[in-house]
Amino acid sequence: MAGKKVLFISGSFGLGHVTRDLVIASALRKQNPGIDISWIASEPASSLLSDAGERLLPEAKEWANENTTAENAAEGPKLNIVKMLFVIRDDWKNNVELFMKVTAKEKFDLVIGDETYEIIVALKKKPELKTMPFVMIYDFIGSYSMTKSPVDIFGNYYWNYFWSKDYHKPSPFVDMRLFVGELDDIPDAKFGFLLPERRAWASEKCTFAGYILRFDPKTYSDKTQIRAKLGYGEEPLIVCSIGGTAVGKEMLQLCAQSFPILKEKIPNLRMVLVCGPRLAPEAIKVHQDIDVKGYVPKLYEHFAASDLVIVQAGNTSTIELTALKKPFIYFPLKDHYEQIVHVSHRLRRHNAGVFMDYSDTTPQSLADTIVQNLGKKVDYPNIPTDGAQKAAALISKLL
């Protein structure tokens, strides 16, 4: 495979996508020595790639940042993805033009896009733009209308119609749809009226890699050892994180408000709030005994050290917690169909995590739920964690 050139576009927002993309890239290099991988991504994913020693194309600086779009569209702990699609069209147009510019300038043997919907939409409308094999990575199938707003309902149906139409026909604009997860992770429901079943569509159109982790859960089974490495003591430990965007800082504030109540019952309790790369720690008002951190590399190690974790319903963080067999509470963003429907469906499959609705949760009710689950022994099933190797083997066939 020496000399083969791959363009990897790490799309979507947050850091969950780029972390799994790096694992896939590592597996690709092991299976295909000598391949040359170039990257396009926006901040904060681009910084993570740079820190990992990856080659970012100069055009990455011009790639539209969906994190900014999402943060501007959010209303506190609410983010309606369907409505966001109406305001993201200029970003998508920009990215498609950059994609065409890059692929015209430099000949690639393969392009991989992680949730690069703008690219697959452009190639579906104009298949002649496709000049090389193209792999599209998904971790959910189809959207849902989360409100009764006519705009929301119409936007959802239009998007699902475009997504699913002609699904029995060949798709020359994409060579592989790679789904991160298992077939049963897809809710067995229709895309919409007179539209196909999502699971049937995925069964016919997608190739399934399983779950992709950046670590081996077996190496983190000794909590005492991990705590010593990270500087934690023996005190009960809660880690709270909102992920790679600033959306949902209200969840961290709610955790902080529950802390004084918890301290009355658990005097030696330690709570750590992780703001991530796009939320300044000083933006959170906290009790003086709470640790507040910004971006934390290898956050999964802190998950492994904890007695309870509180997160949003991010796809990557929740599957990491499931693999680590940690008790956790998750707060899906309001009106965010991927977190409310898709991620929650998968977690119910694995009997993992405790769902809580931010709008129905008070500091007292959160504290009560924390006490019930702190250090609780969980019975999640073992999940396969060799998805990166499978994904790389599948992608390698196109090289």
> What would the pLDDT profile of 2-25 be if each residue is shown by its tens digit?
689 999 999 877 899 999 999 999
Mean of pLDDT values over 48-61: 96
CA atoms of 234 and 91, how far apart (whole Å): 48
pLDDT tens-digit readout, 26-37? 999 999 999 999
- Decide which of 84 and 179 is more confident: 179
CA atoms of 33 and 40, how far apart (whole Å): 21
56, 164: one domain = yes
266, 358: one domain = yes
Range of the structural domain that residue 180 is part of: 5-211+386-396
Q: Rg of the chain's alpha carbons, rounded to an integer?
A: 21
Picking from 381, 377, 274, the residue whose alpha carbon sits closest to that of residue 323 is 381
Non-local CB neighbours of 61 within 8 Å, separated by 6+ positions: none
Q: Is residue 258 part of a domain?
A: yes
Q: Is residue 380 part of a domain?
A: no
Match 């720690």 to its residue by tokens: 281
189, 240: one domain = no
CA atoms of 312 and 315, how far apart (whole Å): 9
**Residue 287: what pLDDT?**
84
Locate 224 and state its tokens.
Answer: 């005492």
Flag whether pLDDT at 92 surpasses 70: yes
178, 161: one domain = yes
Of the pLDDT bands very low, low, confident and very high (cuts 50, 70, 90), residue 1 is low
Q: On the CB side of 322, how many CA atoms lie within 13 Å of its CA? A: 28
E strand or H helix that includes residue 274: strand 270-274
Of the pLDDT bands very low, low, confident and very high (cuts 50, 70, 90), residue 382 is very high
137, 237: one domain = no
Locate 241 and state its tokens.
Answer: 């994180």
Q: Is residue 379 part of a domain?
A: no
**Residue 3: what pLDDT?**
83
Flag whether pLDDT at 175 surpasses 80: yes
Flag whether pLDDT at 88 surpasses 90: no
CA atoms of 43 and 345, how far apart (whole Å): 29
Q: Is residue 16 part of a domain?
A: yes
63, 90: one domain = yes
154, 268: one domain = no
81, 202: one domain = yes
CA atoms of 185 and 4, how far apart (whole Å): 33
Mean of pLDDT values over 105-127: 94
351, 291: one domain = yes
54, 195: one domain = yes
Count of domains observed in the chain? 2
Contact (CB, 8 A) for 216 and 250: no
**Residue 70: what pLDDT?**
84
pLDDT tens-digit readout, 363-372? 999 999 999 9
pLDDT tens-digit readout, 259-271? 999 999 999 999 9
Non-local CB neighbours of 62 within 8 Å, separated by 6+ positions: 94, 98
**Residue 271: what pLDDT?**
98
pLDDT tens-digit readout, 182-234? 999 999 999 999 999 999 999 999 999 999 999 999 999 999 999 999 999 99
Flag whether pLDDT at 165 surpasses 60: yes
Q: Is residue 381 part of a domain?
A: no
Flag whether pLDDT at 136 surpasses 80: yes
Non-local CB neighbours of 85 within 8 Å, separated by 6+ positions: 155, 159
**% of the chain at pLDDT higher than 70:** 99
pLDDT tens-digit readout, 322-347? 999 999 999 999 999 999 999 999 99
Sign of the C-alpha dihedral computed for residues 303, 184, 356 and 75 taken in this order: positive
199, 124: one domain = yes
**Residue 2: what pLDDT?**
63
Question: Phi first, then psi: what are they for 214, rounded to 5°?
Answer: -95, 10
Q: Is residue 239 part of a domain?
A: yes
Integer angstrom CA distances of residue 339 from 116, 140, 266, 316, 335: 18, 10, 31, 11, 9
**Residue 162: what pLDDT?**
93
CATH code, 125: 3.40.50.2000
Mean of pLDDT values over 290-301: 96
246, 177: one domain = no
Q: Is residue 160 part of a domain?
A: yes
